[in-house]
Chain A
Amino acid sequence: MIGKSVPRKEGNNKVTGAAKYTNDFSVAGLLHAKLLTSPHAHATIKSIDVREAKKCPGVRAIVTGVDYPILTGSAIEDRPILALEKVRYFGEPIAVVVADTEYEAQNACTFIKVEYEILPVVNTVEEALEGKHPLVHEEFKNYTQVKELRPDPTRNVSNHVTVRKGNINEGRTLSDITVEIDVSFPQSDHAAMETRSVRAEILPSGEVYLHSSSQAPFTIKQSIGKYFNINENKVIVHTPLVGGAFGGKAAIQLELIAYAASKAVGGKLVTLTNTREDDMVSSPVHIGMSANVKLGATNQGELIMAEIKFLFDSGAYVDEASDITTTAALNCTGPYKINHVWCDSYCVYTNHPYSTSFRGYGHSELGFAIERAMEILANKLKIDPMELRIKNAIKPGDTTPSQAPLTKGNIGNTAKCLERVKELINWEEGQVVPISDRIIKAKGISSLWKTSMSPTNASTGAIITFNKDGTMNLNVGVVEMGQGTKTTLTQLLAESMKVDESKIHVKMEVDTQTSPRHWKTVASTATFMAGNAVLEAAEDAKRQLKNNAAYALRCKPEELEVGEARVYLKSNPKSNVNVKDVAHGYKYENGNAVGSLVIGHGSFMMNHLTKKDPQTGKGVPGPAWTVGAQAVEVEFDTKTFFYKITKAVTVLDVGKVINPKGARGQVTGAMCMGLSWASREGFTFDENGIVLNNQFRTYKTIRYNENPKYIVEFLETPQSDGPYGARGLGEHGVIGMPAALANSLSAAAGVPINQLPIVPESIWRQKRGGVYDINKF
């Protein structure tokens, strides 16, 4: 079962339109909610007049910020459910209208009169750090911090993370050569095809039912409980299939609004679904960054020191951005051995949409900065960029920037990935190869690494029950959002039970009342965590099956083995009993029943993670580092600066491939997303902080045939504590793509390209030596 390309379990439902997502639901009496959002990026709300709107046909209730003066947030409680007193970003929800139909709710929104007093906009992280007034959060000092942060409220900084490894002065002295670069990219969007959607109902018993297209149903439960002062055990969250998430659906936002909306109509069932425009800017987005990197090396190309500054654009509220700031700092060097590392990573408020986790969680961002610097270092040293990377690739025995020890069991083989990429991209041919008088072929490479920062006690579980015919039901708390975890887990269970995967029915929906608690479906940890839980549950089920079978076969349980839907004597497999006959206890021929109903359960908890030291960052942030290397090949028109991405390569050390076709799809999909981000995505803000591209019409993503030809290979250096040695792989394809693309185009164009997205116009500007700033025109 392991290593077999099993088609996804829910496949037939998805190709027939039968697969149900949160918003594919209607019932008589269902009420509809719509958001009114802010047309300004920074303004004081002088008044909100809902009187006219309330008179509109079909309207049942209107909720505004003052109805729930609560502040929320996973790291710091800085965000009101609906804007309170002021708006801090374009698209911020101000009011929610509940009506009999969606169109009536929408119609009523147009009758709400809001009076604003416009405030100057903090439109860049640099402006923010200058302490530009008014601050995004004047009241910062009164906020409740949930996680440990080091803020500087006078400069709009919510978190300042420092990493101090080795001695930077010594590093500077030992370096023969140093390079310094600035890189940046604006915020962008996850743009999952399903917009966020939620449905809420409050029953007279006090039970709260939510259906949400979320990566974090168990966190919703917690949040609703906490912010609305309800016992968490009364909150029940369902998550059916999710239409893509990419980190963007781990944040809790619409759920709180939907609860308030339902409460306002006496607990009736209310549904709230984002329009695309709202989904792009009102709900949280992918973080933006400006960074400065200095690398020092010997003349022979041995990396000595790194001094790095990250300025992350968290937008108006912190959400996950403070943790991304931390992760980027703790892993700031990428997969290279560097003894002297200083990193200052800042999480900065601006009047932009707020940022949350995105596929790669800080690693794609840090990767872009470090890999561009590596390229420039190689150029300056006149060393082949591939050789420079291979030479400095991190290995077991080295430590990470946060001084976490690396071992064979917790890190893969970066150098080997690079070597393989070198062959696959035909590096020997040369980085730049002319193919006609105008067109040149150019290549760029990048290494990548990623660890998964989770709470030090993140946990999960799995439950296995049996049907009459001996087939199994598998229930885990992992959300199926396209990553295929449910199929992978099925394969793990099938392998352990030695049955065909068709004998396993995996529950697609997560129901927090019956599914075992799973931290969050993020960080590519689902296979690792839930996979271990499933294997433990399988062992548990087998133990129980053996106990029951021991009655039937009149032997000791230890003498038995389970496989191929039977329990058999190890010494004589012919002496056996069907699983179906012992899964529900065993009935002797005379009718007497013995044994017990088999319910396998297993759990898994992250362990060995340690908190970081606040000054030096020292600590173990994640269970393991997945490493890899990537390359991009472009065909570049030296006259027009148009280019085509022709090839993209990924070699990833995934420990063990469980479903080859599924794994390839995860990686190519992530590569495509990384290239899309790097080549065309990013919000365009006008001088008032208004997002000009909040629709797919103007926010472009890669479409059919704009993708490159993909080459993907896996190395299998097992992760010692992974299920069958497997590591996560859902995010990694994204990570090196921006740098590889920028490296290829910098080589092609002969100018450094350090800003994303790289549209032909950006290359043109660089060629003219002009100041580059895609956000302004």
Chain B
Amino acid sequence: MKQMVELTVNGEKKRIYVRPAATLLNTLREELGLTGAKPGCENGDCGACTINFDGRPMKSCLTLSIEAVDHQVTTIEGLIDTPIQQAFVKQFAFQCGYCTSGFIMNCHALAELYPNANEYQIKDWLQSNICRCTGYEEIEAAITEVLKNKAIEDTPS
């Protein structure tokens, strides 16, 4: 019933046995020990399980692991000292931290793909995640700071 697949996660190729019915969220957490992506609803509603899939944000609870074959998966564990992680700490953009990986992965993709994102796009993207602890003020500060710095960096001098 389980099937051998080769997944590319955080740049590493992993050969593992998975059930075709296993979601990527299940596999990351249980087979690969990458528990940064969290189950908050397993229904696509909360965003706590967000990862990057070929650089785009994706809810890993809405994806079968086997669908990830031939694609690049990045999890929070694959981000090291990125501007958005630093900004989250600096801006106090989390409390319990349970929504944090998902928010960061979504923000990270946004900053990488659309450094010039306008307010509407930021809202459109970030409304995919729920944070129950903060009032979102600090998260807004964090993403705004990162995009602002990114825009400055990207402007040719």
Contact = CB atoms under 8 A, between A and B. Distances in A.
Bound together: yes
A710 B96 contact: no
Nearest to B125: A704
Given A15-B88, A16-B76, A243-B96, A704 B46 contact: no
Nearest to A57: B1
A438 B48 CA distance: 39
B35 A24 contact: yes
B135 A671 contact: yes
Chain B CB count within 10 A is highest, among A21, A481, A672, A705, for: A705
A673 interface: yes
Nearest to B87: A15
Interface size class of chain B, counting residues whose CB lies under 8 Å from the partner chain: 35 or more
Contacts of A481: 96
B38 A276 contact: no
Contact of A696 (B41, B88, B133, B140): B41
B77 A16 contact: yes
A193 B77 contact: no
Contacts of A7: 89-90, 92
Contacts of A703: 126-127, 129-130, 136
Nearest to A246: B132
Interface in A153-197: 191-195
Interface stretch (A497-505, A513-521, A662-670): A662-670
A194 B98 contact: yes
A721 interface: no
A483 interface: yes
B30 A482 contact: no
B70 interface: no
Given A16-B79, A276-B41, A701-B132, A244 B126 contact: no
Contacts of A275: 42
B71 interface: no
B43 interface: yes
B14 interface: no
Contacts of B48: 193
A276 B75 contact: no
B64 interface: no
A467 interface: no
B99 A193 contact: yes
A471 B152 CA distance: 41
Contacts of A673: 132
B34 interface: yes
Given A15-B104, A17-B76, A668-B134, A482 B42 contact: no
A103 B38 CA distance: 18
A193 B42 contact: no
Contacts of B99: 193
A669 B139 contact: no
A26 interface: yes
B111 to A, nearest CB: 14
A242 to B, nearest CB: 7
Contacts of A482: 94-98, 133
B52 interface: no
Interface in A184-238: 191-195
Contact of B95 (A15, A26, A665, A710): A665
Chain A CB count within 10 A is highest, among B21, B29, B34, B94, for: B94
Contacts of B94: 11, 14-15, 482
A192 B132 contact: yes
B90 to A, nearest CB: 7
Contact of A697 (B30, B43, B85): B43
Contacts of A17: 34-37, 75-77, 101
Contacts of A695: 41, 43, 45
B97 A10 contact: yes
B43 A276 contact: yes
A765 interface: no
B57 interface: no
A351 interface: no
A243 B43 contact: no
A191 B137 CA distance: 19
Contacts of B76: 15-17
B36 A669 contact: no
B91 to A, nearest CB: 9
A14 B100 contact: yes
Interface in A627-664: 661-662
Interface in A534-588: none
Interface in A14-37: 14-21, 23-24, 26
A11 B89 contact: yes
A247 to B, nearest CB: 13
A484 interface: yes
A275 B37 CA distance: 16
A705 B144 CA distance: 13
B131 interface: yes
Contacts of B97: 10, 13-15, 19, 241, 243, 482
A12 interface: yes
Contact of B126 (A8, A662, A697, A705): A705
A244 B98 contact: yes
A661 B21 contact: no
A762 interface: no
A18 B90 CA distance: 18
B65 to A, nearest CB: 13
B42 to A, nearest CB: 7
A696 B122 CA distance: 21
A447 interface: no
Contact of B45 (A244, A666, A697): A697
Contacts of A339: none
Given A15-B100, A17-B77, A18-B36, A193 B130 contact: yes
Nearest to B33: A26
Interface in B54-105: 75-77, 79-80, 85, 88-90, 92, 94-101, 104
A661 B141 CA distance: 13
Given A17-B35, A103-B19, A695-B43, A665 B132 contact: no
A244 to B, nearest CB: 4
Contacts of B75: 17
Chain A CB count within 10 A is highest, among B39, B43, B96, B100, for: B96
B98 to A, nearest CB: 3
B89 A665 contact: no
B40 interface: yes
A707 interface: yes
A289 to B, nearest CB: 22
Contacts of A483: 95
Contacts of A12: 89
A14 B127 CA distance: 21
Contacts of B104: 15
B138 interface: yes
Contacts of B85: 15-16
B35 A669 contact: no
Chain A CB count within 10 A is highest, among B29, B48, B100, B122, for: B100
Contacts of B43: 276, 695-697
Nearest to B22: A103
Contacts of B33: 26
B80 to A, nearest CB: 8
Given A15-B104, A26-B30, A703-B127, A241 B96 contact: yes
B140 A661 contact: no
Nearest to B19: A103
A191 B132 contact: yes
Contacts of A19: 97
Nearest to A666: B95
Contacts of B137: 668, 707, 710
A665 B138 contact: yes
Nearest to A244: B96
Nearest to A193: B98
A109 to B, nearest CB: 16
A445 B88 CA distance: 32
9 residue pairs, one from A and one from B, having the closest CB atoms: A17-B36, A482-B96, A243-B98, A14-B97, A482-B95, A672-B135, A17-B76, A668-B135, A696-B45
7 contacts: A16-B85, A21-B98, A103-B19, A193-B40, A241-B96, A276-B46, A668-B134
